[in-house]
Amino acid sequence: MSERITILGAGSWGMAVARLLDQNGRDVTLWAYDPREYYKLLQERGDSAKLPRLHLAPTIEITNDLAASVDDSDLVVLAVPAQYLRSVLRGVGSRIRPRLGVVNLAKGIETGSLKRMSEVILEETSVPIERVCTLSGPSHAEEVALDMPTTVVVAGSSDHLTSRVQEIFSCLVFRVYRSSDLVGVELGGSLKNVIAIAAGIVDGLGFGDNTKGALITRGLAEMIRIGATLGAKPETFAGLSGLGDLVTTCCSRHSRNRWVGEQIGMGKKLHEILLNMSMVAEGVETTRSSYSLARHCGVEMPITAEVFHVLFDGKPPLEAIEQLMGRALKAEVWRQTD
């Protein structure tokens, strides 16, 4: 018997995952928040502005009824942007009682609370931690929708759940590994977006491969540093949700976070950039929350701090880079004060 899967969120990633799971033989329901988006999906079975070449098969049910969409589901997949996840769950949290569990796809840290997405899920639903997992890794929706080979990782505290999710999502073009390090996988997928904004700034300023290679390496060091402080395994950041996603997001033409940084580097203002975007760049708010998290934990994250000052304090990007390059010289030892 095919699993009944509800996907909350009909953005580019939600649509791509709906198509993937439908092709894997699952019974898929896709919930769209915006009524206009819902009617467009019903009529066109896709969204040419987000994923021009994606078509949603008639076997995928599309709904605008949040409460009814989660009833009688085996698996609930959350494809809602990180900063909106709590408000969505508050409207339906008590009705989310999937037979298998909840799979989070959002990559972010909640502004204000500084919570990871699994923590938000636990606070807003009655689903126990053993039934909560996060799927993350280098997985641009634009490429998944075209069946380009993609590999990700699913993390959770239950081997049974992560194994089942691995089986449900995997196919010849989408391979899933599993991990028990939920903290590390969630932080990796979130923090890399901040470094991707920095990578975009580097591109916008016209710098080259030397600069970006150094940025990715030192950005990874920051991710490991805060991750270890919060209980993650350092080796997780060498995996798909860490280094894999970091390199992809920092270099890809599909990356909205890299694009935001590029526009900043070219001299545009953040509010102008965001005003003209139809999709969410998670790294903007994650910059705010990760900067606050680093200060709260007493962890040095100089790249994150400079991205924060550029985005929210109006610091000139060249001045931020000079600040990073002019820091005290030291050995390359990845520790809390490196």
CB distance 282 to 212 below 8 Å: no
Residue 336 lies in a domain: no
CA triple 323-328-332, angle to 5 deg: 110
CB distance 20 to 135 below 8 Å: no
As a whole number, the mean pLDDT across the chain is: 95
Q: Same domain for 156 and 132? A: yes
Read off the pLDDT band of 296 (50, 70, 90). very high
What pLDDT is recorded for position 334? 64
CB distance 303 to 266 below 8 Å: no
Catalytic residues: 192
Q: Same domain for 84 and 169? A: yes
Q: Same domain for 106 and 139? A: yes
Q: pLDDT by residue (tens digit) across 233-281?
A: 999 999 999 999 999 999 999 999 999 999 999 999 999 998 888 677 8
Read off the pLDDT band of 79 (50, 70, 90). very high
Mean pLDDT (whole number) for 133-149: 97
Domain boundary among 146, 180, 214: 180
Mean pLDDT (whole number) for 310-335: 92
Q: Same domain for 58 and 93? A: yes
What pLDDT is recorded for position 2? 84
Q: What is the DSSP letter of 2?
A: P
Flag whether pLDDT at 336 surpasses 70: no
Q: HSE on the CB side for 152, CA within 13 Å? A: 28
Percentage of the chain beyond pLDDT 90 is 89
CA triple 135-141-145, angle to 5 deg: 115
Residue 204 lies in a domain: yes
- State how beta strands 132-136 and 75-78 pair: unpaired
Q: pLDDT by residue (tens digit) across 31-74?
A: 999 999 999 999 999 998 899 989 999 999 999 999 999 999 99
Mean pLDDT (whole number) for 300-328: 97
Q: What is the DSSP letter of 105?
A: -
CB distance 309 to 320 below 8 Å: yes
Domain of residue 25, residue span: 4-180
Domain boundary among 158, 180, 202: 180
Domain boundary among 165, 180, 195: 180
Rounded to two decimals, the pTM is 0.95
Residue 331 lies in a domain: no
What pLDDT is recorded for position 219? 97
Q: What is the DSSP letter of 241?
A: I
Among 141-150, 166-175, 267-276, the minimum mean pLDDT is found in 267-276
Q: Same domain for 217 and 94? A: no
Cα-to-chain-centroid distance, residue 335:
26
Flag whether pLDDT at 338 surpasses 60: no
Residue 335 lies in a domain: no
What pLDDT is recorded for position 333? 74
CB distance 183 to 232 below 8 Å: yes
Q: Between 155 and 274, whose confidence is greater? A: 155
Mean pLDDT (whole number) for 198-215: 97
Q: What is the DSSP letter of 42?
A: H
Q: pLDDT by residue (tens digit) across 106-135?
A: 999 999 999 999 999 999 999 999 999 999
What pLDDT is recorded for position 1? 57
